[in-house]
Protein backbone atom coordinates (compact mmCIF):
# COMPACT_ATOMS: atom_id res chain seq x y z
CA UNK A 1 0.00 0.00 0.00
CA UNK A 2 1.30 3.42 -0.94
CA UNK A 3 0.56 6.60 0.99
CA UNK A 4 1.60 10.19 0.58
CA UNK A 5 1.27 12.19 3.79
CA UNK A 6 1.03 15.95 3.78
CA UNK A 7 1.14 17.84 7.05
CA UNK A 8 -1.57 20.46 6.71
CA UNK A 9 -2.98 23.41 8.59
CA UNK A 10 -6.25 22.69 6.75
CA UNK A 11 -7.53 20.47 3.96
CA UNK A 12 -10.83 19.60 2.33
CA UNK A 13 -12.24 17.45 -0.45
CA UNK A 14 -14.88 18.86 -2.79
CA UNK A 15 -17.03 16.76 -5.13
CA UNK A 16 -19.38 18.50 -7.57
CA UNK A 17 -19.16 21.73 -5.57
CA UNK A 18 -19.93 20.05 -2.21
CA UNK A 19 -17.37 19.69 0.58
CA UNK A 20 -17.49 16.03 1.59
CA UNK A 21 -14.58 15.95 4.04
CA UNK A 22 -12.42 18.50 5.80
CA UNK A 23 -9.94 18.88 8.64
CA UNK A 24 -7.97 21.64 10.29
CA UNK A 25 -4.45 20.83 11.50
CA UNK A 26 -3.50 17.25 10.70
CA UNK A 27 -2.56 14.94 7.87
CA UNK A 28 -3.89 14.67 4.36
CA UNK A 29 -3.33 11.00 3.53
CA UNK A 30 -3.44 10.09 -0.16
CA UNK A 31 -3.58 6.31 -0.39
CA UNK A 32 -3.35 3.66 -3.10
CA UNK A 33 -3.81 -0.08 -2.72
CA UNK A 34 -1.68 -2.47 -4.75
CA UNK A 35 -2.77 -5.92 -6.00
CA UNK A 36 -1.03 -7.94 -3.24
CA UNK A 37 -2.21 -5.73 -0.38
CA UNK A 38 -4.39 -7.00 2.45
CA UNK A 39 -6.28 -5.42 5.34
CA UNK A 40 -3.27 -6.29 7.54
CA UNK A 41 -1.01 -4.20 5.30
CA UNK A 42 -3.43 -1.29 5.64
CA UNK A 43 -3.47 -1.65 9.43
CA UNK A 44 0.33 -1.68 9.52
CA UNK A 45 0.39 1.47 7.36
CA UNK A 46 -2.18 3.15 9.60
CA UNK A 47 -0.14 2.37 12.72
CA UNK A 48 2.86 4.06 11.10
CA UNK A 49 0.79 7.09 10.05
CA UNK A 50 -0.64 7.59 13.54
CA UNK A 51 2.76 7.38 15.27
CA UNK A 52 4.96 9.17 12.70
CA UNK A 53 6.52 12.15 14.46
CA UNK A 54 6.28 14.95 11.88
CA UNK A 55 4.67 17.73 13.93
CA UNK A 56 6.80 20.27 15.75
CA UNK A 57 7.32 20.32 19.50
CA UNK A 58 8.02 23.46 21.60
CA UNK A 59 11.63 23.48 20.37
CA UNK A 60 10.54 23.39 16.72
CA UNK A 61 11.73 19.80 16.17
CA UNK A 62 9.57 17.24 14.42
CA UNK A 63 8.86 15.22 17.52
CA UNK A 64 5.06 14.85 17.73
CA UNK A 65 2.59 12.59 15.96
CA UNK A 66 -0.85 13.47 14.64
CA UNK A 67 -2.21 11.83 17.77
CA UNK A 68 0.04 13.93 20.01
CA UNK A 69 -1.27 17.16 18.47
CA UNK A 70 -4.90 15.94 18.31
CA UNK A 71 -4.87 16.55 14.56
CA UNK A 72 -7.29 15.28 11.97
CA UNK A 73 -6.85 12.71 9.23
CA UNK A 74 -8.27 13.34 5.77
CA UNK A 75 -7.95 10.04 3.90
CA UNK A 76 -8.34 10.22 0.12
CA UNK A 77 -8.02 7.36 -2.38
CA UNK A 78 -5.58 8.07 -5.19
CA UNK A 79 -4.73 5.22 -7.55
CA UNK A 80 -2.31 7.48 -9.46
CA UNK A 81 0.26 6.96 -6.68
CA UNK A 82 0.98 3.63 -8.42
CA UNK A 83 1.82 5.34 -11.72
CA UNK A 84 4.47 3.68 -13.84
CA UNK A 85 6.37 6.36 -15.76
CA UNK A 86 9.37 4.30 -16.83
CA UNK A 87 8.59 4.34 -20.53
CA UNK A 88 6.76 6.73 -22.77
CA UNK A 89 4.94 9.85 -21.69
CA UNK A 90 1.64 8.36 -20.61
CA UNK A 91 1.70 6.75 -17.15
CA UNK A 92 0.43 3.22 -16.68
CA UNK A 93 -1.59 2.23 -13.63
CA UNK A 94 -1.48 -1.57 -13.68
CA UNK A 95 0.45 -1.51 -10.38
CA UNK A 96 -2.69 -0.23 -8.63
CA UNK A 97 -5.13 -2.76 -7.20
CA UNK A 98 -8.24 -3.48 -9.31
CA UNK A 99 -11.08 -1.11 -8.34
CA UNK A 100 -13.08 -3.62 -6.27
CA UNK A 101 -10.04 -4.62 -4.19
CA UNK A 102 -8.83 -1.02 -3.96
CA UNK A 103 -12.19 0.15 -2.65
CA UNK A 104 -12.45 -2.70 -0.13
CA UNK A 105 -8.97 -1.98 1.22
CA UNK A 106 -9.62 1.77 1.31
CA UNK A 107 -12.89 1.22 3.20
CA UNK A 108 -11.12 -1.09 5.67
CA UNK A 109 -8.34 1.48 6.22
CA UNK A 110 -10.91 4.21 6.91
CA UNK A 111 -12.84 1.92 9.27
CA UNK A 112 -9.65 1.09 11.19
CA UNK A 113 -8.67 4.77 11.33
CA UNK A 114 -12.07 5.71 12.76
CA UNK A 115 -11.69 3.01 15.42
CA UNK A 116 -8.29 4.37 16.50
CA UNK A 117 -8.47 8.11 15.91
CA UNK A 118 -11.16 10.61 16.89
CA UNK A 119 -11.14 12.83 13.81
CA UNK A 120 -11.23 11.11 10.41
CA UNK A 121 -12.66 12.62 7.24
CA UNK A 122 -12.58 11.13 3.73
CA UNK A 123 -13.04 11.71 0.09
CA UNK A 124 -15.14 9.30 -1.96
CA UNK A 125 -13.54 6.30 -3.66
CA UNK A 126 -13.53 6.62 -7.46
CA UNK A 127 -15.01 10.12 -7.51
CA UNK A 128 -13.64 13.11 -9.38
CA UNK A 129 -12.42 15.11 -6.39
CA UNK A 130 -10.84 18.48 -5.90
CA UNK A 131 -8.49 18.44 -2.92
CA UNK A 132 -7.70 21.79 -1.33
CA UNK A 133 -4.91 21.98 1.21
CA UNK A 134 -2.49 24.26 2.95
CA UNK A 135 0.68 22.21 3.30
CA UNK A 136 2.31 23.14 6.61
CA UNK A 137 6.09 23.39 6.33
CA UNK A 138 5.80 22.16 3.63
CA UNK A 139 6.08 18.60 4.92
CA UNK A 140 5.32 15.76 2.51
CA UNK A 141 6.29 12.18 3.37
CA UNK A 142 5.91 9.15 1.06
CA UNK A 143 5.25 5.76 2.71
CA UNK A 144 5.06 2.30 1.22
CA UNK A 145 4.00 -0.70 3.24
CA UNK A 146 4.09 -4.26 1.95
CA UNK A 147 3.09 -7.60 3.40
CA UNK A 148 6.00 -9.06 5.33
Q: Is 134 exposed, middle or buried (0-12, 13-18, 19+ CB in 10 A)?
A: middle
For the cut 80, the answer to whether the pLDDT of residue 84 exceeds it is yes
Helix or strand (DSSP H, E) at 45: helix 39-51
How many percent of the chain have pLDDT more than 90?
98
Residues with a catalytic annotation lie at: 78-80
Paired with 26 in beta bridges are 8, 72
Average pLDDT across the chain, whole number: 97
Q: Is 71 exposed, middle or buried (0-12, 13-18, 19+ CB in 10 A)?
A: buried
Q: Is 74 exposed, middle or buried (0-12, 13-18, 19+ CB in 10 A)?
A: buried
Instruction: Please name each of the domains of the chain with its CATH number.
Output: 2-137 (3.50.80.10)
Q: What pLDDT is stored for residue 139 in this prediction?
A: 97
E strand map for 16-146: 18-23, 26-32, 55-56, 62-64, 72-77, 120-122, 130-144
pTM metric for this prediction: 0.96
Amino acid sequence: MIALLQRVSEARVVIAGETVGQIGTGLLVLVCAEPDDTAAVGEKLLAKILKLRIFSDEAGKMNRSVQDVAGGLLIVSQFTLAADTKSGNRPGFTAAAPPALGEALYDRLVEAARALHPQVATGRFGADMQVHLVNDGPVTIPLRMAAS
